[in-house]
Structure formats: structure tokens, C-alpha cells
Chain A
Amino acid sequence: MTGFFTLLHKELLRFWKVGFQTIIAPMVSTLLYLLVFFHVLETRTEVYPEVAYAVFLIPGLIMMAVIQNAFANSSSSIIQSKISGNIVFVLLSPMTYRAIFFAYILAAIARGLLVGLGVYLVTLIFFDIPLLLPLWAISFVILGSAILGALGLIAGILADKFDQLAAFQNFIILPLTFLSGVFYTIHSLPSSWQYLSHFNPFFYMIDGFRYGFFGISDISPYISLLIVSVSLVVISLLTIKLLRSGYKLRQ
């Protein structure tokens, strides 16, 4: 367990030491989204009855920030270590693959949660945001960031260069987040788009997380919880398998 705690501690320090870039900057950009969308759309849209659009938007934006930062944390840590070569220090050690996996995932969750919590606390100053079912919200934010942490680990292992990682981020993670209902409920979409949204795993994370705030969701939170949990288990097993195989790490 010492190995796991050390790697976790190191991974936490890694982003904490550059906190301005890894926590403050994403908070600011999320708040900018909020500011822009709030001013453009506030008078036109009411998504849920008696929920102001800005307030509707906030949980989605928080989850988006959590997702992106959890992914960024594990993926950038791995690829930096790979490119600078210092990944050998982890690879030479007797740590088990599971210990390595959990250390990276927990660090990703921690960064996701810190950014999310930061955004939430700042928005609390300006808006009255209900948090009706906090346990639901917390469950989804943890499961969601864990999934993205694992995806980040996979992307970091597979990518050989930073631009490949950026492609993964810009062509997969970003579109899936933007099309997952951060800015709208899928009920407002044409039916074919609604149908497609059900294949987007991020949709369930955001819908379930929003349920924790308003007690309202596009689909049953139990279904979302099931889908998100099963996704986490499957992706985690895949990631551990990838680590164990040594693919791209132990040539």
C-alpha cells in the first residue's frame, strides 16, 4: 500500500504545484462559459419549470469541468512522463498494476472534484442553487471523474506525442461533453438527436448529476447510475489489462 500512497501523493503534488494552471485556469474558463451563455440565453430559455437557465446550466458546466480536468490530469501526467522518460521510475518499481491504476485514477478524481467544487463555490456567490439530493450529485461526480481518469490513462498510454493526445481530447472528449446536455435538456432536441444522445455515456453523468441538484432529470437517475457504474467497471478493467500487457510502456 505504501507504493500506492506514494504514487497518489506524487500525482496530487504534481498538479497542486502548478495549481494555477491545473485548477484556477479551468475554473475561470468554466465561469466564462457561464457568463456568456447566461447573458445570451437567460431571457429566452427556461429548461425546467421554475429553474432559471443559469441555474440549470451550472451543474452541467461543473460536470463538464470535472470531466475535462479528470481526463487532462491522468493523460497529461502519463504522456509527460513517457516523453521525458521519467516513467521508468514507476515501471522499475515493484508496484502492482492495480496500485498504479488506482493512484492515477484517484489523483484524476481529486483534480476533477477540486475544479468542480471551486466552480460551485464561486457560483454560489451569485446564484441561489438548490442541492436537493447531494448524495446523488456526489456519486455521479466521483463516478464520472473516475471514468474520465481511466480514459485519460488509456489515452496517455496509447498516445506517442502531445498532438495525438490533443486529437483524443478535441475529437472525442470535447464533442461528447458538448453534445451531452450540458447546455440543454435532450427533450428540446429533435427525436433523432435525442435517440443518439442515449449512446453518449457523458449524457448519463450530466443528467444524473443534475438530478442531484433539482430532483428532475431527462431519464431515471437509477438507469444513469447503472450505466455509469457499469461503464466505470468495464473501462477500469480495460485500463488495468492495458497496463498489465505493457503495451507502449514496456516495449
Chain B
Amino acid sequence: MLPAIEIIRVCKNFGGIRALVDVDLEIHPGEFFALLGPNGAGKTTLINIIAGLSLAHSGSVNVMGYNVTTQYQQARRNLGIVPQELVFDPFFSVREVLLIQSGYYGIKHNNRWVDEIIERLDLAGKANANMRSLSGGMKRRVLVAQALVHKPPVIILDEPTAGVDVELRQTLWEFIKQLNQDGHTIVLTTHYLEEAETLCSRVAMLKEGKIIALDSTQNLIGKLASGNSVKIRLLPDRLPPVLQPLQKSCSNGLYELRIDSYAQIEFILSTLRAGNTQIQEMYLQQPDLEDAFVSLIRNSGNKLQ
């Protein structure tokens, strides 16, 4: 199957700084893909190169099989970009902006679809308001709407929830999830790892312009995090010797025990019962993307690929 986005050995330098180093990446049609990395890792640079907003020094990028520089017209028709910055044209209203954007993509009479996206993004009340008068969250929604006017099969969102309140974040994610279910390929960068974890099927991590990990979200968590654990507070505050090999840490009387399978929980409980030890508090701890992220970024990375 033709990849939705194909990035082949892309390099980009800014002055003496190597922003991207030999990046290879393939994103499949219908995927919900996350691009993670600390600030300055090269995420936005990579997105800009896919979008044609920036030119790579070497390597090539295809969107739905079209090269983004030599076949830029076809490539851009297949791509919707939600930029990170809250940019807007102060001369126009929301509806005008969306109709103008449709025109740029060669679409006349796009009223019906524009109305639908206005409705779905909850912008109906502001459709005729000037862009200047909108709040940050509203402007963000308009940016999403603008990326959708030409119904692109591939949608890239560069930190779409940065600076957006919790409620809007939820609405946006629901909307984007729906787009993915409708068959759109979604690529996003985000700092909210929890969201990448619940939404995205695959994750790439960038550090200093290199991809240091690329795997399904599940595998990445499984591979990198140190497994599940339980945290317990005991009365009396003493861990039976049999359980001591499992102990990972203890802080403020809260013991963290590593478990390799859930069956081990029964073993822990029966041991405690036999020693007449009461459980006062108990948490089940699962590794998350945050752990994976932190441990990856902390390690130099190459060996983890």
C-alpha cells in the first residue's frame, strides 16, 4: 500500500545547526501517528518540510505518492496542515477566511462543506465575526477548519492543543478522532503525552533531529517502561522478607513492588495476610508514555532504535 507520508533520508541545517539528520519515516494511510520530542527536536521543521513551508537540504518527501517539491500541487491538495502558531488574517470573518482558503485549493462554491465544518467545530456562533475578535481557542478551531476545507486525506496538526483549555481540548480530540475514523490519516505533535498515548497507534520520537524510537504506542511502553508495579502502605510499616526482592522503592512508607504479571498480586496479598499485615493504601501503577519518553530522552537514544 502506498504510504500516506514517506520521508526518505531528509537532512536540514540552519546555519551550522543540524535540525534534521537523515530522517526516514513512513506513515501509513489511516494511521493516527504521533511525533514526540522535546522543544527544538526538529518536529516543526519536519512538518514544515512535509508541508513545503521549508525546503530540505537533501532527501525527499512524498505525500500520497506525490513529491512535495516536484509535484507540489498534488502533494498539497492531499495535505491539510494546522500550524502551531495562532496565525490569522485580520481583514476577514471566519466564513470569509474558509471560503478564501477553499478558493486557494481551487474549490468554488464550497459553502455546504464550509457550513458543515463550522457546525462540527462549534464555530456557528462566530461564523460572521471578524477573526480579530475571536478568543485564542476559537482561532485554533478556525485553523483546524482551514486545514479541512479541501477534505485532505492526510492531516497534520502541530501541537493543536497548546494553550487550549481542557474543554476545547476534549472537543478537538473527539473531532480529530472522528476524522481518523472517517479514514483520514492523522499526524500530530503534542506535549500532552497522555493524549498521544490514548489516541495514537504509533509514535516516533525525535531528539536533536534524529528519530530515536519508532514503534506502536503499546510496544514502546512495553519495551521501555520498567513494567507494572503496585504501591502499598502497610500497617505495621514493615515489608515481609519474602517480598523484599520485589521492592523497587519506598518513599514515605509507600512501598513500590515490581510485578511481572497480575497473578503476582495474589501472591503479595496472601503473603501479607499470612504475616498479619494490613493494607492501608494500594495503587496499581502502569507504565505510560511519559515514562517511556523521559527514559528515552534521558538515554542517548541511538541504541534504543
Which residues of A are at the interface with B, using a C-beta cutoff of 8 A?
2-3, 5-7, 9-10, 13-14, 17, 81, 84-86, 88-96, 246, 250-251
Complex Cα distance, B149 from A92, in Å, reads 12
Q: Does B52 contact A (CB under 8 A)?
A: yes
A86-B88, A250-B54 are known contacts; what are 16 more A-B pairs with Cβ within 8 Å? A2-B103, A6-B100, A6-B102, A9-B100, A9-B103, A81-B89, A84-B89, A86-B87, A89-B146, A91-B53, A92-B79, A94-B76, A94-B77, A94-B105, A250-B55, A251-B53
Complex Cα distance, B91 from A10, in Å, reads 9
Residues in B whose Cβ lies below 8 Å from that of A86:
87-89
Complex Cα distance, B90 from A17, in Å, reads 11
Contact B53 A92 (CB under 8 A): yes
Contact B52 A250 (CB under 8 A): yes
Contact B105 A3 (CB under 8 A): yes
A237 to chain B, nearest CB (A): 20
Contact B101 A14 (CB under 8 A): no
Residues in B whose Cβ lies below 8 Å from that of A93:
76, 101, 104-105
A79 to chain B, nearest CB (A): 14
Complex Cα distance, B87 from A85, in Å, reads 6
Q: Does B81 contact A (CB under 8 A)?
A: yes
Which of chain B's residues has its CB closest to A87's CB? B87
Residues in A whose Cβ lies below 8 Å from that of B55:
246, 250-251
B231 to chain A, nearest CB (A): 47
How many B residues face the partner with a CB closer than 8 A? Answer: 32
Contact B105 A88 (CB under 8 A): no
Complex Cα distance, B74 from A56, in Å, reads 54
Of A81, A84, A93, A250, chain B has the most CB atoms within 10 Å of the CB of A93
Contact A6 B104 (CB under 8 A): yes
Q: Does B235 contact A (CB under 8 A)?
A: no
Residues in B whose Cβ lies below 8 Å from that of A10:
92, 100, 103
Complex Cα distance, B53 from A96, in Å, reads 14
Residues in B whose Cβ lies below 8 Å from that of A96:
73
Complex Cα distance, B106 from A251, in Å, reads 25
A155 to chain B, nearest CB (A): 21
Contact of A94 among B74, B87, B100 (CB under 8 A): B74
Q: Does B72 contact A (CB under 8 A)?
A: yes
Contact B76 A84 (CB under 8 A): no
Contact A91 B85 (CB under 8 A): no
Which of chain A's residues has its CB closest to B100's CB? A10
Q: Does B108 contact A (CB under 8 A)?
A: yes
Residues in B whose Cβ lies below 8 Å from that of A95:
104
B73 to chain A, nearest CB (A): 4
